[in-house]
Amino acid sequence: MTEPVLRISGITKSFGALRASEDVTLDLCAGEIHALIGPNGAGKSTLIAQIAGALAPDSGTIKLEGRDVTAQSTVARARAGLARTFQISSLAMEDTVLQNAMLGALGARQGRLGLFGSVMRDTGLRETARAALDEVGLGEFAGFRVGDLSHGQRRQLEVAVALTLKPRVLLMDEPMAGLGAEGTAQMVPMLQRLKHTAPILLIEHDMDAVFQLADRISVLVYGQIIATDAPDAIRTDPRVREAYLGDDLGEDAV
């Protein structure tokens, strides 16, 4: 097996007596979608926050392409190639779709931000932004204000901004949330394609989508990973079934 692109080893995080992450070990290899599932309150959000750099773990390490980024800020990790999408769309709502995508392209450039030159006339940035928008099917909405987009289109834009960053790793926090059947049907093939651009660590509640997409699945329960395996094996794993008893997965698996 090749060296994983993202390797999380022994992450532990406590809030008082609550152990939100307990010795979490997880990796993500090139070309794969690794889904992280777990019931509500399992500690998924806490784990994502630590991977993205918003929260510092109590112990453990996070390595991105072999480099230890545990002590690095969100900004530094983004610059190292960790691109994330947010569970709740996190965009500049007053700006246009194109401007949001260009912001990503600007960040990816990692240079000084010009104070005087017109950013909208920067053809390099525009092209990067345009290509990402086309990739997610938002090309014709470039001139729209984000505030005027539908929920589904905002989810697509989140992905487009992540793409402009030339990511080494995509960290996707519930990209299907609130999308409905039609939106999900669009998003699934898109993620299928994107995993060849950068491997995806996918946090998702939609089990149909997860089992369709994932190459591997890890199950997080009470802050601990109880199983990491191929979808078929996860489906029949008795511990997972116990954790999900009565949940969607239980019914699917039967």
Partner 1 sequence: MRREAIFNTALWLGLLAYPVWAWLGDEPYQITLATRVAILALAGVGLNIALGLGGLVSLGHAMFFGIGGYAAGILASHAQSYTPLYDGAFTIEGTQNMLVIWLVAVVAAGLVALVTGALSLRTSGVYFIMITLAFGQMFYYFTISWPAYGGEDGLSIYVRNWFPGLNTLDPLTFFLICFSILSLALLLSWRIAGSAFGLALNAARQNEDRVRAVGIEPYRLRLVAFVISGAITGLAGALYADLNRFVSPTMFSWQLSGEIMVFVILGGVARLFGPVAGAALFILLEEVLGGVSDYWHIWLGVLLLIVVLFARGGLIGLIAGQGTGQATGQRKRAGGADD
Q: Is 75 in the site for partner 1 (CB under 8 A)?
A: yes
Stretch that binds partner 1, among 6-14, 19-27, 82-90, 237-245 (CB under 8 A): 82-90
Q: Is 93 in the site for partner 1 (CB under 8 A)?
A: yes
Measured in Å, how far apart are the chain's first and last C-alpha atoms?
33
Residue the block writes with tokens 């089990």: 207
Among 1, 17, 115, 254, binds partner 1 (CB under 8 A): 115
Alpha carbon 2 to its chain's center: 22
- DSSP-derived pairing of the beta strands 59-64 and 67-68: antiparallel
Site size toward partner 1, by CB under 8 A: 44
- DSSP-derived pairing of the beta strands 18-28 and 6-15: antiparallel
Site string for partner 1, 125-144 (x = CB under 8 A): x----------------xx-
State the minimum distance, in angstroms, from the CB of residue 99 to partner 1: 6
Find the binding residues for partner 1 in span 3-62 (CB under 8 A): 52
Find the binding residues for partner 1 in span 155-194 (CB under 8 A): 161, 164-165
Among 18, 56, 71, 120, binds partner 1 (CB under 8 A): 120
Considering beta carbons, is residue 34 or 77 the nearer one to partner 1? 77
Q: Is 108 in the site for partner 1 (CB under 8 A)?
A: yes
Q: Is 86 in the site for partner 1 (CB under 8 A)?
A: yes
Stretch that binds partner 1, among 38-46, 88-96, 208-216, 229-237 (CB under 8 A): 88-96
201's tokens: 């660590």
| Number of other residues whose CB lies within 10 A of the CB of residue 1 | 5
Confirm if 161 and 87 have CB atoms less than 8 A apart: no
Considering beta carbons, is residue 146 or 179 the nearer one to partner 1? 146
Q: Helices 97-109 and 151-164 meet at what angle, rounded to 10?
A: 20
In 3D space, the residue among 21, 100, 95, 104 whose CA is nearest the CA of residue 62 turns out to be: 21
What are the distances in angstroms from CA 221 to CA 20, 202, 203? Answer: 10, 16, 14
Among 90, 150, 192, 236, binds partner 1 (CB under 8 A): 90
Q: What's the chain's Rg over C-alpha atoms?
A: 18
Residues that bind partner 1 (CB under 8 A): 52, 73-76, 78-79, 83-84, 86, 90-96, 98-100, 102-104, 106-108, 110, 113-122, 125, 142-143, 145, 161, 164-165
